[in-house]
Amino acid sequence: MSVSSPFWRQSPPSLNPDFLRQGRQRQASLTKPAGSLGRLEQLAITLSAQQQRPRPAVDRVRIVVFAADHGVCAEGVSAFPQEVTGQMIANFVNGGAAISVLARHLGAELEVVNLGTAHPLPARDGVVMAEIAPGTANLATAAAMSEEQLQAALSAGRDAVQRAAGAELFIGGEMGIGNTTAAAAVACALLDLAPEVLAGPGTGLDADGLRHKVAVLHRALQRHRDTVAEADQPLPVLASLGGFEVAALAGAFLAAAQTRIPVLVDGFIASVAALAATRLQPGLAEWLHFAHQSAEPGHARVLAALDADPLLRLNMRLGEGSGAAAAVPLLRQACALHNQMASFQDAGISKGQ
Ligand SMILES: Cc1cc2ncn([C@H]3O[C@H](COP(=O)(O)O)[C@@H](O)[C@H]3O)c2cc1C
Ligand SMILES: O=C(O)c1cccnc1
């Protein structure tokens, strides 16, 4: 692989088998029947191999919310108006959004990256400005973004990971009114599934609204049918049908894995970004933990395509990284058990068969 190839063309490292073996041995030595801590055991073993240390930790959690607007909002595909994207950026940094509260509660670092909003925003402390354009073009009638814009969005994700040096876990959140439409479009193209299967109410469309969203998606897939026919080409699919924040998430996930930072994937939109990124680099899959299954109906299909069994099913459907934040305590508990339990030998307890 040439050193000058873009970062998304580089495969993440594989997990170190020595740490996997040591982790399994340690779990077998702890004072409990083998396997009795269920998935918490494998979580700790995987984190140990990802972090390349015998005692894994997720004390330093970095949450980055990527925000961007979507031209497809012109089609009336969301229950909320487009200006909410920018208004929520202010809410994130003012500390009032769900992810702001969860980040504070976890002692996690929260960064907000503005990739481009349709309504001008006053400059605000605490928002990283990485504006690509005032939102994407309307994916129902044109390519959502140019190749250059796609590369800028992927790179914005990578840049956010570079600012996260030392993080023990990366969570990517998103904010963008209309982005369940863009994510559904990308997933339809990559999975060759119909909009009826992958579109959902998002922020709260009623049955008529959902029928309209499905019709818009059919039009978009028809408009981009030549791209869609090459579903093994995730970059053209992202450019035609995606969003800046979806592409930035894909870039961030790849960059996190390349720098050996484990990723905890949030809901529907983040999972579609993970799907696109694993199509680019299948080795990414070893670095992903899936936090929850969102109430957005298409999420189950996307998770199945990723062969992912999420940790939680809480009927959450917010995005922002909120479902991933909700799962962080489980990862912390898995590490604490792995690191602090006594062994049979140390505690003088007889082993079973
Ligand atoms: C106040 C508010 C806060 C949010 N935080 C995340 N989303 C979520 O909802 C949006 C996607 O749904 P749709 O495709 O139906 O527009 C995204 O911004 C997503 O992050 C929000 C939505 C709203 C209204
Ligand atoms: O699952 C998600 O990420 C989601 C679902 C609905 C609206 N926004 C985000």
Tell me the ipTM for this assembly. 0.99
- Residue 203 Cα to ligand 2 midpoint, Å, equals 7
Q: Which of 72, 80, 113 for a ligand 1 pocket mutation test, highest count of atoms within 8 Å of Cβ?
A: 80
Q: Whose CA is nearest to atom 9 of ligand 1?
A: 203
Region 28-33 average pLDDT: 98
Q: Looking at the CA of 179, which ligand is closest?
A: 1
In sequence order, which residues have a C-beta less than 8 Å from that of residue 228 and are 6 or more positions away?
188, 189, 221, 237, 240, 241
**DSSP-based three-state secondary structure for 200:** coil
pLDDT classification of 216: cutoffs 50, 70, 90? very high
pLDDT single digits (tens) 267-301: 999 999 999 999 999 999 999 999 999 999 999 99
Of the chain, the percentage scoring pLDDT greater than 70 comes to 99
Per the annotation, the verdict on 75 as an active-site residue is no
CA-296 nearest atom, ligand 2: 5
Question: Is the model more confident about 227 or about 329?
Answer: 329
Ligand 1 pocket member 293 (CB < 6 A):
no
Indicate the residue type of 105. H
Q: 203 C-alpha vs ligand 1 centroid, how far in Å?
A: 6
Predicted confidence at residue 124, as pLDDT, reads 83
Q: Is the CB of 91 under 6 A from ligand 1?
A: no
pLDDT of residue 1: 47
How far apart are the C-alpha atoms of 176 and 248, rounded to whole Å?
12
Token pair listed for 11: 């495969």
What residue's CA is closest to ligand 1, atom 10?
177
- 269 C-alpha vs ligand 2 centroid, how far in Å? 6
- Which two structure tokens, joined as six digits, stand for 321? 């990284």
Supply the Cα-derived Rg of the chain in whole angstroms: 20
For residues 263 and 288, is the Cβ–Cβ distance under 8 A?
yes
Closest CA to 340 of 120, 118, 27, 50: 27
Catalytic residue among 41, 174, 245, 320: 320
The residue whose CB lies within 8 Å of the most ligand 2 atoms, and thus the one to mutate among 99, 264, 314, 317, is 317
| Angstrom distance (rounded) from CA 163 to CA 273 | 20
User: Ligand 1 centre from 174 Cα, in Å?
Assistant: 9
Report the candidate in 12, 11, 22 with the shortest Cα–Cα distance to residue 48: 22
Mean pLDDT of 41-52: 98
| Cα dihedral 184/226/152/276 (nearest 10) | 50
The span from the CA of 322 to the CA of 319, in Å, is 6
Q: Relative to the alpha carbon of 79, which ligand is closest?
A: 1
Nearest to 205 by CA among 219, 215, 192: 215
pLDDT at 3 > cutoff 70: no
Q: Please give the structure tokens belonging to residue 323.
A: 């479902």
Cα 344 to middle of ligand 2, angstroms: 45
Q: Is the pLDDT of residue 46 over 50?
A: yes
Q: Is the pLDDT of residue 18 over 70?
A: yes
150-203: pLDDT as tens digits? 999 999 999 999 999 999 999 999 999 999 999 999 999 999 999 999 999 999
Strand blocks (E) in the chain? 61-67, 109-114, 127-129, 169-175, 263-265, 288-290
